[in-house]
């Protein structure tokens, strides 16, 4: 990446900043339509029950109620897998998750929905719906759910991935396995073998903006949906399939988004709002309360993980093995597969095996959360790595460096790695002054590394050169982390325009071809690639226009420094024309100048990171205070370094919450006791120090500017880094998350 760049790599002010700080930006719940009805959802009070009957007659009679929908308003669906975020979604399960059918599978599972002229009427109507439940025994713990005598959630579920196929149904949806070599041989060659078992709890993405939408279907079946989502094209597809509509009849507009982190790749409200609107022929608004977000939208799974790693005395890992048991929630589809693939990815191992089980439990269906599955498995592996390093008396960064994956290493999930930046993160961590700083009493330091694949996928961008010489970029990946700024910067770079002359907007589903979700750290990579392609197409068109004007062959015109000019002396003598001059002549030379790009972006490259954390333990209260935190990660190329740093810091902050405080707390009746931010404690600014960042740039050779994608990896290392720091401070190895004050106190008292 040696080109001279005007915009890429700079830190311009964010273009969406003014709207956001002045309150003008419209988030999901800010949108309203005339004549709009208020929707409310009746949710199950039981974690597991058969739905014997649902009587909505009294609710329908209530004045002001315009529509009531239940399972009968959604067509049953066949078992069909479609990609959704990082997970394959099964339509049979999806229709049952948005509206319970035969059974309710978790507290908060939707049972019916009402649309009324006032919210108070809708709430009253919910109370008039009579639901007869046959209460069934429930199961929350993943290992209990795997046992032979566990309450069965789905009598049709037989474990996939086991030969021969089990005849008896069970709660184990799937078994996966990745690896190579011979782990038994590897362990036999080891001088030291450490085996540990870890427990993690479900954690929510904690986006500040709840799920919200307005849906409007007219009498002729044409629909519009406005919603907060990471993938409005996916919302359109799901609504069409679940309600038997044509995709062309539904137009979905993505609002500004107040956080998603993977959780808004799932769909909960939009098909229900559309079903209510279809019945009432009125716009219907649905907004989740915070408790509904906790009860009914997907967290990351809780899990039980066993890890065994062996190494020689000189610090060479001979074998690594992991068994992962992930809670999927009420329906199959936990991220255990990527968890198994990522578990040992930072290491170049001859003998490695990761086995995973996807297990249904009476909890909300899990959804994607930054690097889905990886934080859990890598927490366990990175904890054991640290313990091994200590036992071998080797510096933990040196131990990682000795075994680190490099270009050409065979990954633990199969293929060889291309150019990757893990070693650079480890070397820069070792050289960082944070790693050399002294520690005080009851203070400890920990390090951990992390990995995520990153992704590409279907992407479509239109770039219009306006008549005044400005440009508008229409992108189809909702902007969660500043992607509009990055797209504008890449377009400005290609077109040699000042940045304030380029505006990037998110187009609705009728404006562009299909775009896969903003997820997998793909937006800047894939939409960026499409934006560059679209700008190149616009430049080529401007060269064609100049060729016509000058009456010379197209190939005799070239683009240089924001102007078209003759390609050489033989092309003729013409004064170069600027983009603005060509744009002004567009009506006379062939009409609007538009560059388009429709791609299935390939060439995504993984991102590795290493974190260093210093913490202090209050021995009286068990509180852990993060004193200093440094994230070092390979970004490939940071288009807007401030946004990249923001992703590093945000991922680390969420990982710190996962490590120290966050958990779903259920009582013995299977009911969630902390569905609010008062009792489910995410870190706030006063809990955290300024998180320092080091951007490492090992360019992705498959992206025009070297982008890898950065949003997922930074949530992977914090849990292990903090557990390793606690061990360093107290000499106690914590294997259960969260490492909250009661657990720290109990460990200190043990």
Partner 1 sequence: MVHIVLGGQLKQYTGGQNQLEIDASTIHQLFVRLEKRFPELGPHIEGGLAVAIDGQIYQDSWFEPISDENEIHILPQIAGG
> Which residues of this protein are in contact with partner 1, per CB under 8 A?
81, 83, 85-88, 160-161, 163, 174-178, 205, 261-263, 265, 337-338, 341, 368-372, 411, 413-418, 452-458, 516-517, 519-522, 600, 602-604, 702, 711-712
CB 742 within 8 A of CB 622: yes
Give the nearest distance from C-beta 745 to partner 1 in angstroms: 33
Give the nearest distance from C-beta 341 to partner 1 in angstroms: 8
Q: Write the DSSP assignment of 679-730 as a string of letters.
A: TS----GGGSPPEEEEEE----TTSTT-----SSGGGSSHHHHHHHHHHHHH
DSSP state of 514: -
The tokens describing 354, both together, are: 């990761």
Give the nearest distance from C-beta 163 to partner 1 in angstroms: 6
The three-state secondary structure class of 457 is strand
CB 109 within 8 A of CB 330: yes
Give the nearest distance from C-beta 417 to partner 1 in angstroms: 6
Nearer to partner 1, 495 or 716 (CB): 716
- Phi then psi for 303, rounded to 5 degrees? -160, 160
Contact residues for 258 (Cβ-Cβ < 8 A; gap 6+)? 27, 28, 207, 208, 209, 228
Number of residues assigned to the chain: 750
Give the nearest distance from C-beta 456 to partner 1 in angstroms: 7
CB 713 within 8 A of CB 695: no
CB 181 within 8 A of CB 414: no
CA–centroid distance for 723 within its chain:
24
Give the nearest distance from C-beta 410 to partner 1 in angstroms: 9
- Phi then psi for 723, rounded to 5 degrees? -60, -40
Contact residues for 622 (Cβ-Cβ < 8 A; gap 6+)? 740, 741, 742, 743, 744, 745, 746, 748
Give the nearest distance from C-beta 340 to partner 1 in angstroms: 8
CB 93 within 8 A of CB 333: yes
Nearer to partner 1, 517 or 631 (CB): 517
Nearer to partner 1, 210 or 709 (CB): 709
Cα–Cα distance measured from residue 307 to residue 325, given in angstroms and rounded to the nearest whole number: 12
Give the nearest distance from C-beta 230 to partner 1 in angstroms: 9
Nearer to partner 1, 302 or 396 (CB): 302
Nearer to partner 1, 368 or 726 (CB): 368
CB 236 within 8 A of CB 509: yes
DSSP state of 325: E
Contact residues for 150 (Cβ-Cβ < 8 A; gap 6+)? 139, 144, 170, 171
Nearer to partner 1, 467 or 603 (CB): 603
Nearer to partner 1, 452 or 666 (CB): 452
Give the nearest distance from C-beta 740 to partner 1 in angstroms: 24
Give the nearest distance from C-beta 88 to partner 1 in angstroms: 6
Integer CA distances (angstroms), 499 to 155, 236, 488, 679, in order? 58, 33, 7, 44
- Listing from the earlier edge strand, what are the strands of the sheet with 110-116? 65-69, 110-116, 37-43, 284-287, 212-217, 223-227, 250-254
Task: Look at residues 90, 87, 88 and name the one whose alpha carbon lies nearest to residue 76.
Answer: 90
Element at 320 (helix H, strand E)? strand 317-329
Nearer to partner 1, 520 or 738 (CB): 520
Nearer to partner 1, 371 or 538 (CB): 371
Give the nearest distance from C-beta 353 to partner 1 in angstroms: 12
Give the nearest distance from C-beta 95 to partner 1 in angstroms: 18
CA–centroid distance for 24 within its chain:
26
Quick one: angle between helices 718-730 and 374-391, nearest 10? Answer: 30
Nearer to partner 1, 522 or 545 (CB): 522
Nearer to partner 1, 486 or 724 (CB): 486
The tokens describing 55, both together, are: 């009587």
Question: Token match 């797209």: residue?
Answer: 487
Give the nearest distance from C-beta 86 to partner 1 in angstroms: 4
Nearer to partner 1, 238 or 261 (CB): 261
Give the nearest distance from C-beta 366 to partner 1 in angstroms: 11
Give the nearest distance from C-beta 16 to partner 1 in angstroms: 21
Nearer to partner 1, 91 or 680 (CB): 91
Nearer to partner 1, 8 or 84 (CB): 84
Nearer to partner 1, 365 or 430 (CB): 365
The tokens describing 590, both together, are: 């062939």
Nearer to partner 1, 64 or 161 (CB): 161
Task: Look at residues 131, 118, 91, 104 and name the one whose alpha carbon lies nearest to residue 48.
Answer: 104
Element at 503 (helix H, strand E)? strand 502-506
CB 463 within 8 A of CB 594: yes
Question: Token match 């000795």: residue?
Answer: 402
Give the nearest distance from C-beta 98 to partner 1 in angstroms: 20
């Amino acid at each position: 990446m040696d080109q001279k760049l005007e915009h890429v790599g700079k830190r311009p002010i964010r273009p969406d900043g003014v709207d956001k700080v002045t309150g003008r930006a419209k988030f999901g719940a800010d949108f309203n339509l005339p004549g709009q009805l208020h929707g409310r959802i009746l949710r199950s009070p039981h974690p597991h029950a058969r739905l014997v009957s649902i009587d909505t007659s009294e609710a329908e009679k209530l004045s002001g109620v315009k529509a009531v929908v239940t399972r009968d308003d959604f067509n049953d669906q066949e078992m069909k897998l479609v990609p959704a975020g990082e997970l394959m979604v099964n339509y049979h399960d999806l229709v049952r998750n948005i509206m319970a059918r035969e059974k309710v599978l978790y507290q908060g599972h939707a049972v019916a929905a009402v649309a009324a002229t006032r919210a108070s009427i809708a709430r009253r109507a919910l109370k008039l719906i009579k639901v007869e439940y046959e209460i069934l025994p429930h199961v929350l713990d993943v290992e209990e759910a795997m046992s032979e005598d566990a309450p069965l959630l789905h009598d049709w579920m037989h474990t996939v991935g086991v030969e021969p196929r089990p005849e008896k149904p069970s709660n184990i949806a799937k078994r996966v396995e990745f690896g190579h070599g011979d782990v038994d041989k590897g362990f036999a060659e080891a001088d030291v073998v450490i085996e540990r078992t870890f427990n993690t709890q479900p954690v929510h993405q904690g986006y500040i903006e709840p799920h919200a939408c307005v849906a409007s279907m007219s009498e002729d079946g044409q629909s519009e949906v406005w919603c907060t989502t990471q993938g409005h094209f996916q919302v359109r597809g799901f609504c069409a399939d679940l309600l038997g509509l044509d995709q062309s009849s539904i137009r979905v507009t993505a609002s500004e988004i107040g956080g998603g982190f993977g959780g808004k790749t799932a769909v909960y409200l939009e098909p229900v709002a559309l079903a209510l609107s279809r019945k009432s022929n009125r716009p219907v608004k649905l907004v989740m309360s915070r408790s509904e977000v906790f009860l009914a939208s997907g967290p990351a799974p809780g899990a039980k993980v066993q890890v065994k790693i062996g190494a020689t005395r000189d610090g060479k890992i001979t074998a690594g093995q992991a068994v992962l048991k992930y809670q999927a929630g009420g329906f199959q589809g936990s991220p255990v597969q990527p968890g198994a693939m990522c578990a040992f990815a930072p290491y170049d191992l001859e003998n490695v095996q990761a086995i995973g089980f996807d297990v249904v439990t009476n909890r909300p269906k899990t959804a994607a959360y930054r690097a889905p599955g990886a934080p859990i498995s890598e927490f366990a592996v990175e904890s054991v790595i640290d313990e091994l390093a200590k036992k071998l008396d080797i510096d933990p960064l040196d131990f990682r460096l000795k075994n680190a994956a490099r270009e050409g290493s065979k990954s633990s999930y199969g293929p060889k790695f291309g150019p990757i930046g893990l070693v650079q993160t480890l070397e820069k961590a070792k050289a960082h002054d944070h790693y050399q700083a002294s520690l005080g009493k009851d203070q400890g330091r920990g390090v951990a590394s992390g990995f995520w694949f990153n992704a590409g996928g279907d992407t479509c961008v239109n770039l219009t050169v306006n008549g005044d010489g400005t440009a508008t970029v229409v992108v189809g990946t909702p902007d969660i982390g500043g992607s509009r700024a990055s797209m504008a910067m890449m377009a400005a770079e290609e077109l040699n325009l000042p940045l304030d002359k380029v505006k990037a907007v998110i187009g609705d589903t009728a404006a562009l071809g299909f775009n896969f979700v903003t997820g997998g750290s793909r937006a800047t990579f894939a939409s960026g690639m499409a934006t560059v392609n679209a700008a190149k197409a616009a430049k080529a068109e401007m060269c064609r226009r100049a060729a016509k004007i000058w009456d010379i062959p197209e190939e005799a015109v070239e683009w240089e420094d924001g102007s078209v000019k003759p390609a050489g002396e033989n092309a003729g003598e013409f004064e170069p024309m600027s983009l603005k001059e060509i744009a002004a002549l567009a009506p006379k030379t062939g009409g609007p100048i538009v560059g388009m790009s429709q791609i299935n972006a390939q060439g995504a490259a993984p991102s590795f990171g290493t974190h260093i954390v210093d913490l202090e333990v209050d021995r009286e209260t068990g509180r852990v205070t993060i004193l200093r935190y440094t994230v070092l990660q390979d970004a490939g190329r940071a288009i807007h370094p401030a946004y990249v740093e923001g992703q590093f810091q945000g991922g680390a902050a969420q990982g710190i919450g996962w490590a120290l405080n966050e958990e779903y707390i259920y009582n013995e009746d299977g009911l969630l006791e902390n569905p609010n931010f008062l009792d489910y404690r995410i870190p706030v600014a006063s809990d955290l120090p300024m998180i320092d960042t080091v951007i490492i740039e090992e360019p992705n050779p498959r992206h025009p500017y070297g982008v890898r994608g950065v949003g997922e990896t930074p949530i992977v290392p914090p849990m292990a880094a903090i557990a390793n720091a606690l061990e360093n401070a107290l000499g106690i190895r914590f294997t259960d998350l969260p490492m909250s004050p009661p657990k720290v106190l109990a460990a200190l008292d043990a």
